């Protein structure tokens, strides 16, 4: 659709609720999660309330609000003790931040194939396990869940941590369980392209009390949870990855409307899907759990790369293999094993040398699937993600019909020109 704004669905739902919460933060003059003055008087912070409401909504034991999805991943890895000498299995299709968090813990990201679901292929994960493997990061790409039963079983059988990157799938589920609660930790992003947003922000959820304590310390200067003292004997170095109060207010307003956002996306995607109907040579992405999909995008897989490229060009979008830093082959820093200094882990690590290398076309199945896939926007409109064409949460039935018609015509034209 022309004029479609380039954001995620949460952004489009920002309204009076968020404004009122932001206003109350300003009126209280309490701009951080830690209150100044008598806490009985000033009440609980937005960030604290957000964390407790996330725990309730997701069925998670602990939540820590942070300043980005990348911070949530980094804190999760640190809290689980992942570092130099470790390998972490990640999919070759994910936003670069998943890989950056591993690298900045000094650990080696080991790439694994995705399958037709566009998420980790469990069989390939098994093939990538070595004595150095410490964790698997399952990324719920484009709003839809990974094969979590299989990945959880693999992690348990091999004594590995399972981390869920839920950046793109906040509110999604797998067999009735909230995404983020099946792994040892779940990391969410609240950036502008996500299901709910705070502009910038992130969330970490986990079940284990020790992981929570270490993640809290990592995100807040080594403090114990909620700054209830500093552990003298085992205090850790921490960073400052805290979520600011104003962001907490926006995120809380968004969380309180997440069910409305998801219901809208699911309704809109069904309409688009029905309007497109069956097309020869076009399949839908294979679901691991249809009911748990956030439905923020509709992914189509075409039979051939040539047809997929012709359709994408006709629609003014790109196939997923050409979607910015979401495909390992588009990550020059990974292919070049580049770090801020020339002698640091994981790539130039004298204590833990590794000969693991990255090369274009090292994941042939991932390359093939992504080169034939096109993602239509249903709410996440992001050219960088390859979803610059499609509909939005508020598109009318007529607008949806015309997007579907444009797609059908593009597929028909590509098929004809291929036959010539």
Ligand X SMILES: Cc1ncc(COP(=O)(O)O)c(C=O)c1O
Between 181 and 189, CB nearer to ligand X? 189
Dihedral Cα 290, 296, 300, 306, nearest 10 deg? -150
Q: Which residues contact 305 (CB under 8 A, 6 or more apart)?
A: 319, 368, 371, 372
For residue 139, the minimal CB distance to ligand X (Å) is 5
For residue 398, the minimal CB distance to ligand X (Å) is 32
Using alpha carbons, select from 299, 286, 287, 275 the residue that is nearest to residue 380. Answer: 299
Between 129 and 166, CB nearer to ligand X? 166
Residue 395 within binding range of ligand X, rule CB under 6 A:
no
Between 196 and 310, CB nearer to ligand X? 196
Instruction: Record the tokens describing residue 315, joined without a space.
Output: 């629609």
Give the footprint of ligand X on residues 263-282 (CB under 6 A): none
For residue 299, the minimal CB distance to ligand X (Å) is 15
For residue 266, the minimal CB distance to ligand X (Å) is 20
Give the footprint of ligand X on residues 200-239 (CB under 6 A): 202
Give the footprint of ligand X on residues 162-201 (CB under 6 A): 165, 167-168, 189, 191
| Number of residues lying near ligand X (CB under 6 A) | 14
Are the CB atoms for 198 and 243 separated by under 8 Å? Answer: yes
Between 166 and 400, CB nearer to ligand X? 166
Give the footprint of ligand X on residues 61-90 (CB under 6 A): 68-70
For residue 143, the minimal CB distance to ligand X (Å) is 10
Between 68 and 117, CB nearer to ligand X? 68
Give the footprint of ligand X on residues 285-314 (CB under 6 A): none
> 317-320: long-range contacts at Cβ-Cβ below 8 A with a sequence spacing of 24 or more?
317/374, 317/383, 317/386, 317/387, 317/388, 317/389, 318/383, 318/386, 318/388, 319/370, 319/371, 319/372, 319/373, 319/374, 319/386, 320/93, 320/118, 320/370, 320/371, 320/373, 320/374, 320/375, 320/386
Give the footprint of ligand X on residues 93-112 (CB under 6 A): 94-95, 97-98
Using alpha carbons, select from 384, 369, 374, 382 the residue that is nearest to residue 411. Answer: 374
Q: Which residues contact 238 (CB under 8 A, 6 or more apart)?
A: 217, 218, 219, 220, 221, 222, 223
For residue 83, the minimal CB distance to ligand X (Å) is 20
Q: Which residue minimizes CB distance to ligand X? A: 69
Instruction: Record the tokens describing residue 402, joined without a space.
Output: 């015309």
Between 13 and 188, CB nearer to ligand X? 188
Per-position x/- string for 121-160, each x denoting binding to ligand X as judged by CB under 6 A, each - no binding:
------------------x---------------------
Q: Residue 415 and residue 420: Cα distance in Å, rounded?
A: 9
Between 97 and 246, CB nearer to ligand X? 97
Quick one: which segment of 14-22, 26-34, 46-54, 91-99 binds ligand X (CB under 6 A)?
A: 91-99
Q: Residue 115 and residue 390: Cα distance in Å, rounded?
A: 24
What is the DSSP-derived secondary structure letter of residue 347?
A: T
Instruction: Record the tokens describing residue 334, joined without a space.
Output: 């990974």
Cα dihedral sign for 398, 404, 410, 412? negative
For residue 408, the minimal CB distance to ligand X (Å) is 30
Which helix (H) or strand (E) segment holds residue 163: the answer is strand 161-165
Binding interface with ligand X (CB under 6 A) = 68-70, 94-95, 97-98, 139, 165, 167-168, 189, 191, 202
């Amino acid at each position: 659709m022309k004029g479609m704004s380039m954001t995620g669905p949460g952004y489009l739902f920002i309204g009076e609720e968020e404004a009122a919460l932001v206003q109350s933060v300003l009126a209280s003059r309490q701009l951080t999660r830690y209150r100044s003055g008598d806490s009985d008087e000033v009440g609980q912070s937005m960030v604290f309330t957000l964390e407790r409401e996330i725990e309730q909504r997701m069925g998670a034991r602990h939540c820590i609000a942070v300043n980005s999805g990348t911070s949530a991943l980094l804190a999760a890895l640190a809290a689980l003790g992942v570092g130099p000498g470790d390998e972490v299995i990640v999919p070759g299709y994910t936003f670069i931040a998943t890989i950056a968090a591993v690298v900045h813990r000094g650990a080696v990201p080991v790439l694994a194939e995705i399958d037709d679901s566009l998420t980790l292929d469990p069989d390939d994960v098994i093939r990538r396990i070595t004595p150095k493997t410490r964790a698997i990061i399952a990324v719920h790409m484009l709003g839809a869940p990974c094969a979590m039963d299989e990945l959880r079983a693999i992690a348990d059988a091999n004594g590995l941590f399972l981390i869920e990157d839920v950046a793109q799938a906040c509110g999604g589920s797998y067999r009735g369980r909230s995404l983020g609660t099946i792994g040892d930790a779940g990391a969410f992003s609240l950036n502008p392209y996500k299901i709910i947003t705070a502009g910038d922000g992130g969330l970490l959820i986990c079940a284990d009390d020790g992981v929570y304590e270490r993640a809290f310390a990592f995100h807040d200067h080594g403090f114990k949870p909620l700054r209830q003292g500093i552990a003298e004997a085992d205090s850790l170095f921490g960073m400052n990855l805290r979520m600011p109060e104003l962001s907490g207010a926006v995120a809380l307003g968004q969380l309180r409307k997440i069910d409305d956002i998801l219901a809208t996306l699911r309704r809109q995607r069904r309409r688009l899907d029905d309007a497109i109907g069956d097309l020869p040579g076009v399949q839908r992405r294979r679901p691991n759990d249809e009911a748990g999909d956030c439905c923020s995008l509709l992914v189509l897989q075409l039979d051939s790369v040539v047809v997929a490229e012709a359709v994408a060009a006709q629609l003014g979008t790109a196939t997923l293999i050409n979607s910015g830093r979401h495909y390992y082959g588009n990550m020059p820093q990974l292919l070049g094993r580049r770090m801020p200094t020339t002698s640091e882990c994981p790539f130039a690590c004298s204590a833990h040398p590794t000969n693991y290398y990255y090369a274009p076309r090292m994941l042939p199945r991932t390359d093939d699937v992504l080169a034939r896939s096109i993602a239509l926007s249903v709410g996440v409109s992001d050219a960088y993600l390859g979803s610059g064409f499609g509909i939005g949460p508020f598109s009318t039935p007529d607008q949806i019909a015309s997007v579907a018609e444009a797609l059908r015509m593009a597929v028909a034209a590509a098929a004809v020109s291929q036959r010539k």
